[in-house]
Structure 1
Amino acid sequence: MDPDQPLKPLIDNIVNGNILGVVATVGCNNAKVTQDLINVELVKELVKNNVLVVATGCSAHALAKAGLMNSEGTETYAGEGLKAVLTAVGMAAGLGAPLPPVLHMGSCVDNSRIGDLVTAIAAYLNVDSALLPVAASAPELQHEKALSIGTWAVTMGLTTHLGVVPPVLGSKTVTDLLTHGLSDVIGGKFYVETDPLKAAQGLLEDIRAKRKKLGLPI
């Protein structure tokens, strides 16, 4: 722990590979899919692969109900590298147990905190946020404005997963721009995948690709 540089333990463990990367999950539930299923199964697969997850709003509620926001969740679901980091920090903080594998960042209107964290990490490393092994997900997006809200993550250069197909398929041009073309301009894009395990693998591939570009172990 370093009180003068609080980000250092997180960044050091991302660099050495104990933490593969960070994914933020946000957004409401959707009545068209089984409640919480995509949220929970996606995140279980991510933390198993040593990805630290931060969450807001209804997504955070879903993950808390599934036991991913307590110390037992770390023991049950986290990969060995992530578990070691969370255990060390929890013990250093005097908790006598690991930190949870999913950290609560507030309500939906607090999504800006995630942006602040990404910006702080990028500034600490003196790199563009688009280069970081960080991604975002709206596992069960429920309304049209979720897509527009998600553009803040995309404009920061983050691959942003959508677990429900958004209402943009009427235009091939718009669909291609959102899912491919944007990455050539700003580094981020939307990634649509309704299967939570496949979605997790897609996000893991994206994180590993960014680690490779930074010369970090994968």
Structure 2
Amino acid sequence: MLFKKSTLRALALCCGLTGIGSAHSATMLFDSVGDMGSILYATTRDGATLSATVQFTLNTLSASQAVFAVQVSNNSFGPGANDLKSFGIDIVSPTLNSASANNGWDASRNVTFPAFQQVDLCVWDGSNCSGGGNQGVAEGAVESFLLTLGTAGNFVTSGIEFTSPYSVRFQSVGNSGNSFTFPGCIVGTPNCGPGQQVPEPASLALVGLGLLGAALARRRKVA
């Protein structure tokens, strides 16, 4: 298990009349030094199998600053270079006022993740969040760095939350050699593991409806 204690809160699937396609979200919570959590990125594209894991370990924590040890492993294979260039966190709470990284990596706040959406945090090993340059995590490679986050809020009282979707960008992918962006899932949650492709929002909505129907049926049976 990759989580020290209550470091993961998987938020339930909610299938309301509005927002059914974007109802799925999951959150990693880091509230004490040593807390860990990992994101898995896994799918296929243009003949290549894209697979990578980003692991976070909370090293230091104060009211205004948190430092994570981050390890990025690119286990992709197939045609193409399949270099991992950047990854993003949709929502970081409390709100960040600074973000930086070392060992050739960098971090940006409140940027549009390429071919995705605006994210609170983008961490990249390239020219910028969109990639480019000769950097990136190559197939079979593992890179480690420190990610330092700052807030005007209070990390100690509220902890640090990373809320999905968790985006990733690969370049020189598969037979076409194009770039590709897709979301990941939290290791340790249902349907997130080696060989598991990340579900599309519509599929997640159907799963949520199915779970809701099953729960209602059980309640009727008990009654």
TM-score (normalizing by structure 1)? 0.28
Greater C-alpha radius of gyration: 2
TM-score (norm 2): 0.27
Higher strand content, 1 or 2 = 2
Q: Which has the higher contact order (CA 8 A, sep 6+)?
A: 2
